[in-house]
């Protein structure tokens, strides 16, 4: 092994930093194949060392590093693919990366987990090579220390599971040792230039002094945090809010491009996911899931700015549904959200996201209290406008940037005492006559996303839809939807104990013609698909029925047995309207004519999200008394201080043990 001026200990210290950082990212289990990151880090350190000792200038070295990196990362990623020979694996990798790049450039949503593993590998390669180049070509230590530390901090902040302090503490100790060693090398150069005599034993004394100084600094920081409160100043919160506003754009795009990456530390009891499969028997309990309290939003406030809630009555809404998600795509008995969805972060301090305005809708405030131990899915009234906590809306984006929300998730887990949230939503009170004359002038984005029918839908399913509306004499989309609703309620038996569709059978065909029994998932699916076969846009909504009203508390009590699925049908100018084809639920009867003045008939679109004003006064009033409704930054400064205290404690213990061990070894010599 050739002699290295900086010493091989410097190489192994830096390689150790890369390995610890890689292990910290691998530990939560974000994605399969992340074990490759540690190997990438080691090879990257050696490649950076070799390039730094070569005669290449920076640009030429960067070209070689890029080539080596693509080969190394590609080779290791191919090892994680278990199908076919090397030619097949390489081709699969290229195709999947190409598909990812297409989604990235065209605003789509990628659901492939492999590009995330590739990205992590490339990041560690760049960090390792650049850090080694800085250490051994330029003698600078900070480019080697900071990137890996930032990676670990981001990883620890977003991981909601067991603590990762051990990795952070180990990284800190190695970083301090590397920093001390590089400072010692610089000092030795000065001594040699000045012809100052020194003994090799001074290296150990210098490193021990560095550890002692680090222990003192960490102790002071830890004690200082203990004697001060963890609350953040308004200036700090404002600074974090400004930073997090910019970061939210990055986060939105990350969630769009790496949609399959899920936080493994979150053990959420979310009842619904991103897909729903039509299966066999279903068993539901009386477990309480949530309570919901509704409140009207007054059109005007009093002179003191307070909303006189006692003077405002709830509108006459035919039925309340607590929606979890709306699915677009159906294939062989499985519903899922579409690849066309995008993510929009909503901060209650910035106001509502930009949505279309529809006729005969009223705003309601709903306070949800979850009884699940932990959850991230937010149940909402249809067409949610505002949530009183930082949330991520999964949306379809129409012309002019108007969004159509299909689901909402909290950015932080609902758990412990923080399981209450408030939603302002727009609820339809449209009457039958208004919907009957709504027409068929559907927007292009509605046609594109909500008329999808797979080829597996049988001809007799399509024929049945035409037969039902023909026999009913239904000529408008509303009357046709009503006719199919009545037919399903009258001709299909509600049954939770059904068998799963036979192998090879189309589930809806089997439900309509063979079994003629089923539960809400089948009723709603059949209606959505039959309406689509008639060129009527519809989608599959899931969540919970309204449950039982408790007159004592004035809340709806929602239990697991209220889990439900229902169709939503789109009507021009009126938006999505709920229907109830499931036989076990009471019929959903809309009034023949409404008595509500149509105040939203020509409502202009709201401002763009980037120019969104603060909450309108009525909206802010609706959120003010929510327990979680205080304006707060997307990043909790107090939580960061607490994490810093824990990290400091771990680093203090490890540093003290390291110093004691080194002192003992020194005496043994």
What are the pLDDT digits (tens) for 63-74?
Answer: 999 999 999 999
> By the 8 A CB rule, do 590 and 435 touch?
yes
Helix-strand-coil split of the chain, %, nearest 5? 45, 15, 35
Burial of 305 (0-12, 13-18, 19+ CB in 10 A): exposed
Q: Per residue in 337-368, is it b (16+ CB within 10 Å) or e — as a string?
A: bbebbbbbbbbbbbbbbbbbbbbbbbbbbbbb
d(CA 323, CA 43): 50
Q: How big is the chain by its Cα radius of gyration, in Å?
A: 31
The pLDDT value recorded for residue 634 is 36
**Overall average pLDDT of the 413-417 stretch:** 84
The least confident of 58-72, 178-192, 354-368, 636-650 is: 636-650
d(CA 141, CA 130): 11
What are the pLDDT digits (tens) for 11-24?
Answer: 888 999 999 999 98
585-592: long-range contacts at Cβ-Cβ below 8 A with a sequence spacing of 24 or more?
Answer: 585/520, 585/545, 587/489, 588/318, 588/319, 589/318, 590/318, 590/430, 590/431, 590/432, 590/435, 591/316, 591/318, 591/431, 591/432, 592/431, 592/432, 592/433
The pLDDT value recorded for residue 601 is 39
Q: How far is CA 254 from CA 135, 155, 251, 265, in A?
A: 31, 14, 5, 18
Q: Report the predicted TM-score, pTM, of the whole model to 2 decimal places.
A: 0.59
How are beta strands 384-387 and 403-415 bridged, if at all? unpaired
The pLDDT value recorded for residue 211 is 63
What are the pLDDT digits (tens) for 486-499?
Answer: 999 999 999 999 99
- Three-state SS string across 578-614, please? ECCCCCCCCCCCCCCCCCCCCCCCCCCCCCCHHHCCC
Unique residue bearing structure tokens 């299966």? 279
The pLDDT value recorded for residue 182 is 81
Q: Would you give the DSSP letter of residue 401?
A: G
Taken as a whole, the chain contains a residue count of 669
Phi, psi of 269 (to 5 degrees): -95, 40
Q: At a CB cut-off of 8 Å and minimum separation 6, what does 448 contact?
A: none
Dihedral, CA of residue 179, residue 183, residue 188 and residue 194, to nearest 10: 170
Two tokens at 247?
């970061």
What are the pLDDT digits (tens) for 380-401?
Answer: 998 999 999 989 999 998 888 8
The pLDDT value recorded for residue 401 is 84
The pLDDT value recorded for residue 47 is 94
> By the 8 A CB rule, do 369 and 406 touch?
no
Q: At a CB cut-off of 8 Å and minimum separation 6, what does 181 contact?
A: 7, 9, 10, 13, 207
The pLDDT value recorded for residue 647 is 52
pLDDT confidence band for 175 (50 / 70 / 90): confident
d(CA 268, CA 412): 11
The pLDDT value recorded for residue 405 is 96
User: What SS3 class is residue 290?
Assistant: strand
> By the 8 A CB rule, do 354 and 605 touch?
yes
Better-scored residue on pLDDT, 3 or 266 = 3
The least confident of 146-155, 220-229, 282-291, 443-452 is: 220-229
**Overall average pLDDT of the 268-287 stretch:** 86
The pLDDT value recorded for residue 2 is 61
Share of the chain above pLDDT 70, in %: 73
- Find the helix or strand (DSSP H, E) in which 619 lies: helix 617-624
- pLDDT value at 588 more than 50: yes
d(CA 148, CA 145): 6
Burial of 424 (0-12, 13-18, 19+ CB in 10 A): buried
- Three-state SS string across 199-263, please? CCHHHHHHHHHHHHHHHHHHHHHHHHHHHCCCCCCHHHHHHHHHHHHHHHHHHHHHHHHCCCCCC
Better-scored residue on pLDDT, 614 or 518 = 518
- Find the helix or strand (DSSP H, E) in which 505 lies: none
d(CA 196, CA 189): 10
- pLDDT value at 46 more than 70: yes
Across 71-75, 105-109, 300-304, the highest mean pLDDT is recorded for: 71-75
The pLDDT value recorded for residue 312 is 60
Q: What is the mean pLDDT of the chain?
A: 81
- pLDDT value at 477 more than 80: yes
- pLDDT value at 651 more than 60: no
Q: At a CB cut-off of 8 Å and minimum separation 6, what does 488 contact?
A: 523, 526, 527, 581, 582, 583
User: What SS3 class is residue 577?
Assistant: strand
The pLDDT value recorded for residue 186 is 73
d(CA 105, CA 434): 42
The pLDDT value recorded for residue 494 is 97
How are beta strands 517-518 and 493-494 bridged, if at all? parallel
For the residues of 434-466, what is the DSSP string, one character each? HHHTS-S---HHHHHHH----TTS-HHHHHHHH
What are the pLDDT digits (tens) for 122-146?
Answer: 999 999 999 999 998 888 888 888 9
The pLDDT value recorded for residue 462 is 98
> By the 8 A CB rule, do 171 and 21 touch?
yes
The pLDDT value recorded for residue 627 is 35
The pLDDT value recorded for residue 33 is 87
What domains can be seen in the chain, in order of their start residue? 8-249+650-668 (no CATH), 263-624 (3.10.620.30)
d(CA 312, CA 297): 8
Q: At a CB cut-off of 8 Å and minimum separation 6, what does 481 contact?
A: 527, 531, 536, 538, 567, 569, 579
């Amino acid at each position: 092994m050739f002699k290295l001026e900086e010493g091989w200990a410097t190489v192994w210290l830096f390689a150790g930093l890369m390995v610890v950082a890689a292990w910290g990212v691998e530990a939560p289990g974000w994605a399969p194949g992340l074990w490759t990151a540690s190997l990438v880090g080691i090879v990257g350190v050696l490649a950076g060392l070799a390039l730094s000792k070569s005669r290449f200038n920076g640009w030429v070295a960067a070209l070689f590093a890029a080539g080596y990196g693509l080969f190394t990362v590609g080779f290791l990623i191919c090892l994680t693919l278990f199908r076919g020979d090397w030619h097949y694996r390489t081709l699969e990798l290229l195709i999947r990366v190409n598909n990812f790049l297409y989604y990235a450039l065209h605003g789509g949503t990628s659901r492939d987990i492999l590009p995330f593993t590739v990205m992590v590998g490339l990041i560690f390669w760049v960090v390792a090579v650049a850090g080694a180049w800085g250490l051994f070509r330029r003698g600078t230590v900070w480019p080697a220390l900071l990137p890996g530390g930032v990676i670990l901090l981001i990883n620890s902040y977003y991981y909601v599971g067991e603590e990762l302090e051990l990795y952070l503490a180990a990284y800190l100790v190695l970083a301090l040792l590397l920093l001390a060693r590089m400072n010692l090398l610089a000092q030795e150069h000065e001594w040699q230039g000045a012809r100052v005599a020194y003994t090799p034993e001074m290296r150990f004394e210098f490193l021990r002094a560095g550890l002692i100084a680090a222990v003192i600094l960490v102790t002071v920081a830890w004690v200082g945090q203990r004697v001060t409160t963890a609350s953040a100043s308004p200036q700090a919160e404002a600074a974090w809010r400004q930073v997090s506003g910019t970061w939210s754009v990055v986060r939105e795009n990350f969630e769009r491009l790496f949609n399959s990456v899920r936080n493994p530390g979150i053990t959420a009891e979310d009842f619904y996911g991103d897909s729903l499969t039509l299966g066999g028997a279903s068993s539901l309990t009386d477990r309480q899931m949530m309570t919901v309290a509704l409140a009207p939003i007054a059109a005007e406030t009093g002179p003191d700015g307070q909303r006189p809630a006692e003077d405002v009555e709830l509108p006459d809404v035919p039925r309340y549904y607590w929606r979890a998600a709306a699915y677009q795509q159906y294939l062989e008995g499985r519903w899922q959200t579409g690849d066309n969805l995008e993510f929009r972060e909503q901060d209650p301090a910035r106001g509502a996201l930009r949505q279309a305005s529809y006729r005969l809708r009223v705003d309601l405030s709903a306070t949800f209290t979850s009884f699940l131990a932990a959850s991230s899915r937010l149940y909402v009234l249809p067409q949610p406008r505002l949530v009183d906590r930082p949330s991520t809306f999964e949306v379809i984006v129409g012309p002019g940037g108007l969004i159509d929300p299909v689901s909402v998730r909290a950015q932080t887990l609902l758990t412990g005492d923080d399981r209450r949230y408030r939603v302002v939503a727009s609820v339809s009170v449209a009457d039958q006559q208004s919907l009957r004359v709504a027409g068929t002038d559907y927007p292009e984005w509605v046609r594109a996303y909500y008329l999808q029918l797979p080829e597996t839908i049988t001809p007799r399913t399509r024929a049945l839809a035409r037969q039902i509306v023909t026999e009913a004499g239904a000529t408008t989309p509303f009357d046709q939807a009503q006719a199919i609703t009545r037919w399903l309620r009258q001709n299909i038996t509600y049954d939770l104990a059904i068998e799963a569709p036979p192998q090879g059978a189309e589930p809806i065909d089997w439900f309509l013609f063979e079994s003629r029994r089923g539960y809400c998932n089948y009723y709603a699916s059949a209606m959505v698909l039959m309406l689509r076969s008639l060129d009527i846009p519809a989608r599959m909504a899931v969540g919970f029925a309204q449950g039982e009203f408790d007159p004592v508390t004035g809340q709806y009590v929602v239990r697991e047995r209220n889990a439900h699925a229902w169709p939503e049908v789109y009507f021009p100018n009126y938006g999505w309207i709920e229907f109830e084809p499931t036989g076990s639920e009471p019929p959903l009867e809309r009034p023949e004519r409404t008595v509500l003045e149509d105040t939203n008939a020509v409502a202009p679109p709201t401002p763009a999200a980037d120019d969104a004003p603060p909450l309108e006064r009525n909206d802010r009033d609706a959120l003010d008394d929510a327990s979680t409704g205080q304006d707060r930054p997307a990043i909790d400064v107090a939580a960061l201080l607490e994490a810093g205290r824990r990290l400091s404690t771990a680093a203090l213990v490890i540093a003290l043990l390291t110093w004691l061990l080194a002192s003992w070894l020194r005496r043994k010599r």
